[in-house]
Amino acid sequence: MIRKSAVGLVAATLVVLLARSIAYATEPSPAARVLERRAGGPSLPLLALVSLLLAASLAVAVCWLAAMAVRERALLKRRPVERFAVRRMLAFAMGLALVTSLGGGLLEAYLHWRAGLGWHGVHCVFGPVHRDLLPLEFGLSAVAAAVIAAAQHVVAWMRRTFAHLRAVLPHSWPPVRHVLPRPFDVPRRVCLRSAPARAPPALA
């Protein structure tokens, strides 16, 4: 439980910071605000729809790749395949999106208050100033939830594989017999037999 909470907290923090960076990087200049939509540019709902569709496509691709990889390996090993937890991933994505939307808005309100602009509260979440943060946070939350669910799916399969190997390997290998060296018996008479006397070396 503590590990899941830590993972969720890290994911929410990364989503809020990344969404804020993208939103400020794509913020139009004052001149662009004056000329906004005069040339028939896309409106905010269209941009939100496109960003959400891209994020959903990326999330589906990540989940599909993880599920297909685990399924193919399980078929090669002839083992049952555990299904991908789609409902749990969707619930986590929705909860993460709600938390990051509220957290991102409160973070902006706190930064505005520190800058002397006053406390805007929830108005920073649903107001017109930071309304582009919501689709980014929802989309990034979906991608983050998909990545976490895919990683959990792969890690669970790896744990089952390692547990199966630990259960099979000790029984598949034959027991190793340790053969002790045999002592070399030297006859006692050989050890006690004296060597014949030698003549002194001849001097040239």
Ranges 9-18, 73-82, 174-183: which has the least confidence: 174-183
Query: Which residue has 């409106």 as its token pair?
Result: 43
Residue 204 belongs to a domain? no
Q: What is the pLDDT of residue 87?
A: 85
Q: What is the pLDDT of residue 61?
A: 84
Residue 85 belongs to a domain? yes
Residue 198 belongs to a domain? no
Residue 99 belongs to a domain? yes
Q: What is the pLDDT of residue 21?
A: 79
pLDDT over 60 (residue 204): no
Rounded percentage of the chain residues whose pLDDT exceeds 70: 56
Query: What pLDDT digit, counting tens, does each position of 43-54 carry?
Result: 666 767 777 788
Residue 113: band (very low, low, confident or very high) from pLDDT cuts 50, 70, 90: confident
Residue 64 CA, chain-centre distance (Å), reads 15
Rounded to an integer, what distance in angstroms lies between the CA atom of residue 13 and that of residue 104?
9
Q: What is the average per-residue pLDDT within 171-177?
A: 58
The number of distinct structural domains making up the chain is: 1
Rounded to an integer, what distance in angstroms lies between the CA atom of residue 12 and that of residue 99?
7
DSSP state of 180: P
pLDDT over 80 (residue 15): yes
Residue 113 belongs to a domain? yes
Q: What is the pLDDT of residue 2?
A: 72
Structure tokens at 96: 């993460």
Rounded to an integer, what distance in angstroms lies between the CA atom of residue 24 and that of residue 51?
16
What separation in angstroms does the CA of 130 have from each of 19, 114, 152, 174, 198? 11, 17, 33, 68, 111
- pTM for the full model? 0.63
Q: What is the average per-residue pLDDT within 47-63?
A: 80
Rounded percentage of the chain residues whose pLDDT exceeds 90: 0
Residue 176 belongs to a domain? no
Query: What pLDDT digit, counting tens, does each position of 122-149 carry?
Result: 666 665 556 667 788 888 888 888 888 8
Q: How many CA atoms lie within 13 A of 196 on its CB side?
A: 2
Determine the structural domain holding residue 97 and report its residue range: 2-28+44-171
Residue 135 belongs to a domain? yes
Q: What is the pLDDT of residue 121?
A: 64
Residue 191 belongs to a domain? no
Q: What is the pLDDT of residue 152?
A: 82
